[in-house]
Amino acid sequence: MTDPTQEPSSPDYFSVADGPRPDYARLFRLDGRTALVVGGGSGIGRESALALAAQGARVVVADRDLAAAEATVAEADGASYDGGLVTHELDVTDEDAVRQSAAELGVVDTLVFTAGTNVRKRVLDYSGEEFDRVVGLNLRAAFDLVRAFGPGMAQRGRGSIIGLASMRAVMVEPGQGVYAATKAGLLQLLRTVAAELGPQGVRANTIAPGVVGTPLTTQIRADEEWAGAYATKSALGRWAHPGEIAGAVVYLASDASSFVTGSQLVVDAGWTAVDGRFTPPG
Give me the active site residues, please: 179
115: left (phi over 0), alpha (psi -120 to 50) or beta: beta
CA distance 146 to 158: 14
Count of H-run helices and E-run strands, the chain: 9, 7
84: left (phi over 0), alpha (psi -120 to 50) or beta: left
Residue 73 near residue 67, CB atoms below 8 Å: no
108: left (phi over 0), alpha (psi -120 to 50) or beta: beta
